[in-house]
């Protein structure tokens, strides 16, 4: 492979590395959002649980209507708690999937970085070989051997 081809390959690999870095950042952003959603749902579940416990302990209903209202309110809180628990499970699965996507994006980015390092080393070797007499291609604009021009003496036969 020529030096020019290796340079072009290195440029393409660096562009690919930038794309992989963008993909990695986007995966990190999505994972962060999923973790944030999970944390918000866990906080909501905690607050709902505290509220449900508070109302479950209440015994201050004055009449049957107040008792029925209190029971309905507690049942509503329990439905919210069950629903939130299901949403937490879903959010946890999504957060885990996003974390796996981050790991995969990092592996892809690292693989390209490794390829860039290998290509840069190969290019350096080719350039070093091009600078040595045995590995160098002759510059076509210079003569094959250096000759020193001698002034013409006018005597072709040595006499």
Residues 64-85 pLDDT 10s: 898 899 889 999 999 999 999 9
Check residue 148 and give its pLDDT. 56
* Of the ranges 64-78, 91-105, 117-131, 136-150, the best mean pLDDT one: 91-105
Instruction: Kindly report, residue by residue over 9-19, the tens digit of the pLDDT.
Output: 999 999 999 99
Class of residue 27 by CB neighbours under 10 A (exposed 0-12, middle 13-18, buried 19+):
buried
Instruction: Indicate yes or no: pTM above 0.85.
Output: no
User: Does 42 score more than 90 pLDDT?
Assistant: yes
- Taken in order of first residue, the domains within the chain and their CATH numbers are 3-130 (1.10.287)
Stretch among 35-39, 76-80, 102-106 having the lowest mean pLDDT: 76-80
pLDDT at position 56? 83
Three-class SS of the chain? CCHHHHHHHHHHHHHHHHHHHHHHHHHHHHHHHHHHHHHHHHHHHHHHHHHHHHHHCCCCCCCHHHHHHHHHHHHHHHHHHHHHHHHHHHHHHHHHHHHHHHHHHHHHHHHHHHHHHHHHHHHHHHHHHHCCCCCCCCCCCCCCCCCCCCCCCCCCCCC
């Amino acid at each position: 492979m020529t030096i020019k081809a290796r340079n072009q390959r290195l440029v393409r690999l660096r562009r690919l590395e930038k794309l992989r870095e963008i993909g990695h950042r986007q995966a990190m952003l999505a994972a962060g959002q999923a973790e944030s959603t999970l944390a918000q749902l866990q906080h909501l579940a905690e607050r709902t649980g505290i509220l449900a416990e508070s109302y479950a302990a209440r015994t201050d209903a004055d009449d049957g209507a107040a008792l029925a209202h209190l029971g309905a309110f507690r049942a509503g809180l329990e439905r919210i708690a069950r629903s939130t628990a299901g949403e937490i499970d879903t959010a946890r699965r999504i957060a885990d999937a996003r974390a796996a996507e981050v790991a995969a994006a990092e592996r892809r980015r690292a693989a390209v970085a490794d390829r860039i390092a290998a290509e840069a080393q190969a290019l350096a070797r080719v350039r070093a070989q091009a600078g040595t007499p045995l590995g160098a291609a002759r510059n076509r604009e210079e003569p094959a051997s250096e000759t020193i021009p001698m002034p013409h003496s006018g005597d072709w036969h040595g006499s």
